[in-house]
Amino acid sequence: MSDIVKPGAGILFMKVGTHAQESLDDIIERKRKEIQETGFALWGYGGNTCHPLTMVQPFAQDSVDQNGAIYLCMEPMVSKHFAVPQRAEEFSKDGATWDPIPPTINVRGSRFALAIGNLDNADFSLPLAQTEVAIGMSMGRPGDRYISGRVDKGCLRVLEHPIAGEEPRDVHIGLSAKLVEPYAVLLR
């Protein structure tokens, strides 16, 4: 394991690849430039498994309170996300108040975004059988059972030992990012 993935840590796991007609390498380059120019970037995503307000924000805050930080651990993969790359103009921390996205940040083709303070190359394994879902309707479910099929992201807690009876399933983490407040936002 790594310094990020240790027993008790909360991590947000996500598979990443081509998004909104842009290669992962191009996205990484753009996000690093955004962080350099703005101090943070918004990493766009979709789906319902990690809703910003009901899942990511409370999970992230709890992880920061307990461990001092929370990280996004990303598994690069081949993907075919060719949605229209429309740029989001506003973000909301609470669903009520909307603020303009800084002009130096370009988040596109997404309903939600994670606020990241860095974006680093990584090279370590995440043992999904040694994680469990940390929040929501699937809370307590083994991470290796939860991250399967169309479920490509999750709020996971790293356990001391693999869950008994679970087959070892490690995924390669190729990118990591420290989440910063407000951790996750709605986009429009």
Which stretches of 17-106 are DSSP H helices? 24-38, 57-67
At position 118, the amino acid (one-letter code) is: N
Kindly report, residue by residue over 88-113, the tens digit of the pLDDT.
999 999 999 999 999 999 999 899 99
pLDDT of residue 2: 81
CA angle 117, 76, 73 (to 5 degrees): 40
Cβ contacts of 2 within 8 Å, gap of 6 or more: 122, 124, 173
Kindly report, residue by residue over 128-166, the tens digit of the pLDDT.
999 999 999 999 999 999 999 889 999 999 999 998 887
pLDDT of residue 1: 60
Strand spans (E) along 29-169: 41-45, 71-76, 90-92, 99-100, 112-116, 120-127, 131-133, 153-158
CA-based diameter of the chain, in Å? Answer: 50
* Domain coordinates in residue numbering, the chain: 10-187
**Distance in angstroms (rounded) separating the CA atoms of residues 155 and 56:** 7
pLDDT of residue 47: 84
pLDDT of residue 169: 86
By three-state DSSP, how is residue 5 classified? coil
pLDDT of residue 18: 82
pTM of the model: 0.94
The residue assigned the tokens 């130096």 is 104
pLDDT of residue 83: 65
Kindly report, residue by residue over 35-90, the tens digit of the pLDDT.
999 999 999 998 888 999 999 999 999 999 999 999 999 999 887 766 667 899 99
Gap between the terminal Cα atoms of the chain: 37
Token representation of residue 72: 């996004």
Average pLDDT on 25-37 reads 96
By three-state DSSP, how is residue 144 classified? helix
Q: What percent of the chain has pLDDT over 90?
A: 80
